[in-house]
Amino acid sequence: MNWNIATLKGMAKNALTGSYWKSVFVGFLMMLCTATASSGSARGAEQVETNVDTGIVDQLMHNPYFGVISAMIAAVALLAGIAGLALQIFVMNPLEIGIRRYFMEDLYAPCELDRVTYGFKMNYVNGMIAMLLRAVFTALWTMLLIIPGIIKSYEYRMIPYLLAENPDMEWREAFSMSKRMMDGEKWNAFVLDLSFLGWQLLSIITCGLVGIFYVNPYKGLTDAALYMALREKIMLNPQGI
């Protein structure tokens, strides 16, 4: 099956019309999932910078308990980082699987909100491990070079959808299947993402309101439509795309 951006977006718009407020809520959850991983470290860095600007560090250095205070600050920062990582691994990643499941089903008929809990109900451990490995591998490739990291992020793009549809799929198979589905489609998917650039800029201008009430659910449904198109394509040609 050959797909085009207009068709995918048309499917998304039709689905959004039928279940607008639920999709807005699920899109907001999706925004939280993508923001959680980086928010903890960003807040920590901002706090350190603020302390330096206000001279707190200089004052502490003259305090006889400077070593103890520094250790306490480091411990709090470490615990906050661990808590944020645990939240991403054990909550947000399985939640993303459920969100992808919701958008997949909502493309064809209004879907119930309880679908977002799918990742917690259906083989939670398997999905959690696969999503964690996706994040780890993407990060490792990004540390190597930015461009390979971006390419790998597109190669792994279909993993949460595959897990949402096949919760028992072993992680190696999910990685392999996503790679096959995205083979020859990474550039097309990139262009699809670029087509939302104007909407995303408008969302920034409106302090995120356009994103919350339109762009997030619209993009979520469009991405689900992309998965369904690539899924049909690989089913029609099981030996390769």
- The pLDDT value recorded for residue 8 is 97
Q: Does 53 map to a domain?
A: yes
- The pLDDT value recorded for residue 27 is 97
Distance CA 211, CA 5 (A): 19
What is the token pair recorded at 236? Answer: 């029609």
CA distances from 212 to 41, 92, 195, 219, 220 (A): 24, 18, 18, 11, 12
- The pLDDT value recorded for residue 232 is 92
- The pLDDT value recorded for residue 55 is 54
Total domains in the fold of the chain: 1
The residue assigned the tokens 């992020």 is: 153
Contact 201, 208 (CB under 8 A): no
* Interval 85-115: pLDDT, tens: 899 999 999 999 999 999 999 999 999 999 9
- The pLDDT value recorded for residue 72 is 84
What is the token pair recorded at 40? Answer: 């903890």
Q: Does 241 map to a domain?
A: no
3-state secondary structure 169-233: CCHHHHHHHHHHHHCCCHHHHHHHHHCCHHHHHHHHHCCCHHHHHHHHHHHHHHHHHHHHHHHHH
- The pLDDT value recorded for residue 197 is 97
Q: Which residues of the chain have pLDDT under 50?
A: 40-54, 241
- The pLDDT value recorded for residue 215 is 97
* Interval 116-128: pLDDT, tens: 999 999 999 999 9
Q: Does 30 map to a domain?
A: yes
Contact 130, 143 (CB under 8 A): no
Q: Does 164 map to a domain?
A: yes
* CA–CA–CA angle 165, 128, 36 (5° rounding): 105
Q: Does 194 map to a domain?
A: yes
Q: Does 134 map to a domain?
A: yes
Which contiguous run of DSSP H or E holds residue 144? helix 124-144
- The pLDDT value recorded for residue 62 is 65
Distance CA 190, CA 192 (A): 5
Range of the domain at 167: 5-236
Distance CA 151, CA 179 (A): 11
The residue assigned the tokens 């999905």 is: 127
Distance CA 213, CA 193 (A): 18
- The pLDDT value recorded for residue 49 is 45
The CB density around residue 199, as the number of other CB atoms within 10 Å, is 15
Question: What percent of the residues of the chain are helix, what percent strand, and what percent coil, each to the nearest 5?
Answer: 85, 0, 15
CA distances from 235 to 86, 103, 240 (A): 36, 20, 9
The predicted model scores a pTM of 0.86
The residue assigned the tokens 């799929």 is: 169
